[in-house]
Structure 1
Amino acid sequence: MVWGAVLVFKGARVWRAVSGSTPDPVDRTAVRVLGAREVAQGALYLLRPDTGRSAAVLVEVLHALSMVGLAAVDRRRRGPATVSALVAAASASLLLASLRRASSSPASPSLASPSPASLWAAHWASAWASVWASVWAWAPLHDQPSTPVAAPS
């Protein structure tokens, strides 16, 4: 939910950190919608953890795939789309692992069903880890000249 709130209220700042450019109105709207979806998904985790996890795995996988597609065809949005794909893939992986763990350990409820707080913490941690890894990966690219520089002779 925190990641979603950051996207809703500070999405332009995240966009600039990742892409090195100012988001246009379409980008701002897309980031806010994604943030609102993340907040709603987080609320569903809190209200119905098992249903929320099951639905979220599918949503996160579809989102990651759509962002990979966007990154492949839109150079200007490649950085933010890649970050979004990484966050969604990490989240889907954590959610899937928690679902598998729950189905394989019915005798131990404390291990089988992670608390909503631990799911939230794992989602938040994966989101921020992905963002900062991506910022570090793309930061040197923003400092490069936009036209190729001839190699010294």
Structure 2
Amino acid sequence: MRSTSVVRIVWGALLTAIPSDVLGFLPRTPSTPTGRAVVRVLGIRHVLQGAVDACGAVPAAWAAVPDALHAAGMAGLALKSGRWRTPAVADMLIASGFAVSTRRTNRRPRAG
């Protein structure tokens, strides 16, 4: 199992189990029922994506695409929403980190 998959599964489990605590780390971020629900959904996505990546069910070239798309969406939210700017920027940075890490760990060595 790739280390990125393990980190992603643990991160997703934390998001799912303790969303209020995760939101509490971010300044000026309300822990509303909607916010907690969104954090839980993101946690479930990370657990599922980590499991799929660990199984090698997705071609290496495509493994980082969900994170790159998510980071782009969070960048858009950060630009549009003052209330959710801080968690959107934090999530954008985390998704970007997962995208880069997934891409690097899934890169196949070149023959030669």
TM-score (norm 2): 0.81
Distance in 2 separating the partners of 1:58 and 1:81: 18
Aligned to 1:94: 101
Q: Within 2, Cα distance between the matches of 1:52 and 1:80?
A: 30
Code of the aligned partner of 2:101: L
The match for 2:65 among 58, 61, 64 is 58
CA distance in structure 1 between the aligned counterparts of 2:60 and 2:15, rounded to whole angstroms = 21
> In structure 2, what is the Cα distance between the partners aligned to 1:2 and 1:83?
17
Shift >2 Å, 4+ stretches: 19-22, 52-56, 97-100, 104-107
Please state how far the C-alpha of 1:64 moved relative to its aligned partner: 0.1
Question: What's the counterpart of residue 27 of structure 1?
Answer: 35
Task: Choose the corresponding residue for 1:45, options 39, 45, 53.
Answer: 53
The answer to which structure has the higher helix fraction is 1
Question: Paired residue for 2:26, among 5, 12, 18?
Answer: 18
Among 11, 14, 19, the alignment partner of 1:3 is 11
Larger RCO (alpha carbons 8 Å, 6+ apart): 2
Equivalent pairs: percent with the same residue?
33
SS at match of 1:19: coil
Contact 2:63–2:103 (8 Å) recurs in 1? no
Matching residue's letter, 2:79: A
* Alpha-carbon distance between aligned partners in 2 of 1:10 and 1:60, rounded to the nearest angstrom: 22
Q: How many residue pairs end up in the alignment?
A: 104
Determine if contact 1:15/1:22 at 8 Å carries over to the other structure: yes
| SS of aligned partner of 1:3 | helix
The amino acid of 2:93's aligned partner reads: L
Q: Structure 1 residues 82, 35: closer, same or farther in 2, change over 3 A? A: same
Give the TM-score normalised by the residue count of structure 1.
Answer: 0.61
- Report the AA paired with residue 14 of structure 1: V
Coordinate RMSD, CA, aligned: 1.9
Displacement of 1:52: 6.2
Structure 2 residue ranges without an equivalent (≥5): 1-8
CA contact (8 A) 1:60 1:89 kept: yes
Partner of 2:77: 70
